[in-house]
A and B are shown apart, each in its own frame.
Chain A
Amino acid sequence: MSSLKERLQSLGRIPAGMFEVLKTLGEKPVTVQYPEQQRPMSSRFRGRHHLKRYEDNGLERCIGCALCAAACPADAIYVEASENTNEKRFSPGERYASTYEINMIRCIFCGYCEDACPTNAIVLEPIEFPTGYTRESMIFGKSMLLELAPTGLPDTPQRTEPGKFDRAIVPFPPIDASI
């Protein structure tokens, strides 16, 4: 049982606390007015996916190998590959992704597709989260995902000289599995 003095002291803490709250009126609100103001995002933030191109020739990086679809824990990626020809070339190497769909509702933005990609074609970039009014509109096809061709370079499919793009371009030496 607390003494009367302690009780009176605890009673005094009520107005003390109230004035503590009142001090906040002098502070600047911490709110960020979201669509107009945006907080800086980490450059490594995993936002929406982009399919990249080679900057020197405008060809698509994606070779339609579907490793991203295999790596995807949410089963959100669907890839269909088709053959490249020198008359209609989309990417270096034999094949390209004729269909590339990501279901943005299923996607958990883990970035495993990025890690799986042998050509660094798919990249999650720090831009706004995809939104839509219908489920159908949330399945992003190639038209939504593929970057525009770099300025001055032709869009795919391109007509290329035989022998130049016969093999896929793998940017890094493959990781040594024995390490």
Chain B
Amino acid sequence: MTPLLEAILKTLALVFVALTGFAYLTLLERKLLARLQARVGPNRAGPAGLMQPLADGLKLIFKESITPSGVDKAVYFIAPVLTVIPALVLFAVIPFGKGDAFQLAANVNVGVLYVLGVLGVAVYGITLAGWSSNNKYASLGSLRAAAQMISYELPLSLSIVAVVLMAGSASLAEIVNAQWPGDILGWFIFRQPVAAIIFGITIFAETMRAPFDLVEAEQELTAGFLTEYSGMKFALFYMAEYVKMIAVSALFVTFFLGGWSGPFVNEIPILSLGYFLIKVVACLLIFIWVRASLPRFRYDFLMSFGWKRLLPIALLNIVVTAFLIVIGIPGYK
């Protein structure tokens, strides 16, 4: 098999898994959210509602695609695509399992930079969507999106810097290797708890989910940047949100939960993929759990929390980590 063919096949498989994952993540979220609110959730389409994502997809495909008057047509149509692509390409550098068979480009030595770059680009689609919609709610939503993403990208990046310091490499594959000296205590969530907490909080803001969903706050902004979108264009935004949720969960697993590592991965490499998936699903469940529990932040609190709390703590964490590495505490090289 030529490397090109292999890469194409892997990419197709990955896109397929990501999109199926997205579809069933929406179902999982609706089911779990319903149970957390003492409801049942969707249970009509197919056995136990398992065909619900398919029904939703069909419905959205057959919806009339409305283009409101006064929109900037080109931007209006490109914006959903610009939102989905960063969410999907994030997967490229994530090591899904042990060995090359489960990795696309995980060995790229600028993996972390790539992740940060792609996360930074993701805001464009949303900002452009809101701006091109010719709608005040949408504009406000996209303004919030831009401000929120910029505010939370800094602590996000700084928390990863601490991880890079620990691993001594910016390659995601190396970061996973550095977390597996053979036992679970090697995971960076135990050696870098502060960075893990900051990263954990900022990815909620980055994916714009509750409690940081000010961008599409229903009660104030109708649907924020999504207001004027319907049909498949709406579905693309929806897809972007959920695929990104999976992607950042995978990143959290890679950076802090030891990626694919776990017992017996050296003997049975396929086990590593299983560990990875279990950890990602656990992260996704926490995403949903948080959405069910926490109310939305007030906007000024969101800003002051990002700039006055998370950012200084993240900076301090880097200094402390660097200091510990230099003086050579066990566990810190």
Contacts and interface: CB of A to CB of B under 8 A. Distances in A.
Contacts of B38: 24, 27-30
A20 B293 CA distance: 8
Contacts of A3: none
23 contacts: A14-B294, A17-B294, A18-B289, A18-B290, A18-B293, A20-B293, A21-B36, A21-B289, A21-B292, A21-B293, A22-B289, A24-B35, A24-B37, A25-B35, A28-B38, A29-B34, A29-B35, A29-B38, A29-B39, A29-B40, A30-B39, A31-B39, A33-B40
Contacts of B39: 29-31
Contacts of A20: 293
Given A18-B293, A18-B294, A24 B40 contact: no
Main secondary structure of the interface of A (DSSP, over half): helix
Q: Which 4 A-B residue pairings sit nearest by Cβ, starting from the closest?
A: A21-B293, A31-B40, A18-B293, A29-B40
Contacts of A28: 38
Interface string B35-72: 11111100100000000000000000000000000000
Interface of A: 14, 17-18, 20-22, 24-25, 27-31, 33
Contacts of A21: 36, 289, 292-293
A31 B38 CA distance: 8
Contact-residue bracket for chain B: 10 to 19
B96 to A, nearest CB: 29
Interface in B292-311: 292-294
Nearest to B286: A18
Nearest to B292: A21
Contacts of B292: 21
Contacts of A17: 293-294
Nearest to A14: B294
A78 B38 CA distance: 46
B29 to A, nearest CB: 14
Instruction: Pick from A14, A29, A33 the residue with the most CB of B within 10 Å.
Output: A29
A24 B294 contact: no
